[in-house]
Amino acid sequence: MEPSKDFISTFMIAVSNCSLYSKEHEAFDELAKKTLAVLEEDLKDRLEIMIIDDELIVNKKPLRGGGLHRINIIKRLKKKGISRVDFLEGITLSEIKQFIIDISEPGKRLKSYPHIRTGAVDIRMGGLKMDAVDINNLTFSPLEEIEKVKEVFHSAKPHRKLDIAGLEEVVVHFIGSFKKEANLLKLLSPIKSYSEYTYTHATNVSILSVLQAESLGIKDDLLHEFGMAALLHDAGKLFISREVLDKKGKLDDKEYAEIKKHPLYGARYLAKMDHLTRLAPIIAFEHHIKYDGSGYPDSRLNGKKQHICSQIVAISDFFDALRSRRPYRESWETGKIVALMKKNAGKDFNPMLLNNFTGLLRTALN
């Protein structure tokens, strides 16, 4: 086995077995020592691991083969919002042990390590920028997050996978921001231009949905997966013509019929992505279905109830859509939106979820 594959396999065996042993257990100590020994064989001055388009890149070269261990390290890193890891010369056993523990535990934030740098591969127009940054020092900036979402969405094509790692990083920032900002409305971004609506709205809906999910006790990996799915709820609009999306007047019947196809387009597109949570195509398909089964696509034909995660996103989607200024109308005030939503509770929205959502808004405004 070539050295880089040997390291990936040894590292993932240690991560997989970490939950079986305590940090002081001899077996864990042996696994960590073996991982360090293999790593030191690979190191000249650094070992660089990156994820680009679901490919594992080691020291600038794609890693072929590697089987399940290669697939699992991609999944583990993405769940942490990481798409790049640099191991530097001088790394110690205690550092590699702590890194294995942090990667193995769902929802655990990564610590700062002297000889391990974790961050993101930043793909921008005009070239590839690959500066590693410490994920723990990243701060939430709505405009920066929207720009990242915009970059990822712009790269989307019918037969090309989304840069999931880039979106994972955005969701990690959302969740971290809730602990720093009590007023959730300050986390939401205004629509600067009509052409930015798709990206800004996706970001805002994810923030609102994750906040409600967290208040209901959803946490760790499931919260991250839900945030990803909410961020992609309108992915189908990437396949609707810009002329229709950016129209500065009311849509005619033909244009509205095209818009109504976006849940189906989104579900089909996201269902093809192996490394994406199964919630994503479900929410993309169901977010315009109403609590009573009306809305679109017509779900009354199959008799299935709307998924609770789709119900959460439907509330966030409606709220942010009305608070955003659009080409054909002005933005609504929060009180007016809440009054309309309460009027439609039990028909359009899950009453319990809506009550919880408005309670969160009340807390934020107070």
The alpha carbon dihedral of 267, 270, 272, 277 has a sign of negative
Among the listed residues 148, 152, 156, the one whose alpha carbon sits nearest the alpha carbon of residue 265:
156
**Distance (Å, rounded) from C-alpha 42 to C-alpha 4?**
7
Distance set, CA 178 to CA 141, 214, 258, 260, 357 (Å): 12, 10, 36, 33, 15
Compute the distance between CA of residue 83 and CA of residue 163 in angstroms, rounded to an integer. Answer: 10
DSSP letter at 301 equals G
304 is catalytic: no
SS3 58: strand
β-strand 46-52 against 84-88: which pairing, if any? antiparallel
The active-site residue out of 78, 148, 237, 290 is 237
Q: Distance (Å, rounded) from C-alpha 301 to C-alpha 293?
A: 9
| Catalytic annotation, residues | 237
